[in-house]
Amino acid sequence: MIILGIDPGLRTTGFGVIEKHGSKLRYIASGTIKTGLEGALPPRLKIILDGVREIVATYQPACAAIEKVFVNVNPQSTLLLGQARGAAISALVGADLEVAEYSPTQIKQAVVGTGKAAKPQVQDMVSRLLTLPGLPGSDAADALGVAICHANTHDTLALIGSIGPQLTGLRMKRGRLV
């Protein structure tokens, strides 16, 4: 199964493509979509939309995952990030892909083992997990981390979904079934 991970950003949107065979992960591609620092918002969102569409057309993923927006100190930055994220999600659902969403903490937990990991730790672990010859760029590493998180979570979610009718009365609390 080919998985596309997206780390949304208005200036730079990272992408990472991996393949999962059983429990093995294989690196396919990663990089960034750059919109530049200046310019009107709508053309920059179009660059993200078109870039994600091109990546989907090139690598034909079976599913996609994207990082959730976290709340910044600056509400304007949060709104702009949300719009960039919306452009990426629109491209993914426009290609009829299932899109999963993960918080930064969930991604770091899945890749590094702690939700409070620093960016260099994520870069290092992504490089190790995918046996890359070097460290990927920060945005590409984050996107690969999103894809790895989904690869590790997808099977569990499918299993829970298949036994869902048997789980009546149970609920999720702090990421655990209780």
Q: Are 67 and 7 in contact (CB under 8 A)?
A: yes
Asked if 101 is an active-site residue, the reply is no
Asked if 67 is an active-site residue, the reply is yes
Given 38, 96, 101, 139, the catalytic residue: 139
Q: Distance between CA 177 and CA 49 in Å, rounded?
A: 36
Q: Are 137 and 11 in contact (CB under 8 A)?
A: no
Supply φ then ψ for residue 168, to 5 degrees: -60, 135
Asked if 38 is an active-site residue, the reply is no
Close Cβ partners of 98 (under 8 Å, ≥ 6 residues apart): 63, 64
Rg (CA), the chain: 16
Supply φ then ψ for residue 71, to 5 degrees: -85, 120
What pLDDT score was predicted for residue 73?
A: 79
pTM: 0.87
Residue pLDDT tens, the chain, 178 long: 999 999 999 999 999 999 999 889 999 999 999 998 788 999 999 999 999 999 999 999 999 999 997 767 788 888 989 999 999 999 999 999 999 999 999 999 999 998 889 999 999 999 999 999 999 999 999 999 999 999 998 766 555 555 555 555 656 666 565 6
Secondary structure element (H or E) that encloses residue 3, with its range: strand 2-7
Q: Are 10 and 44 in contact (CB under 8 A)?
A: yes
Q: Are 168 and 149 in contact (CB under 8 A)?
A: no
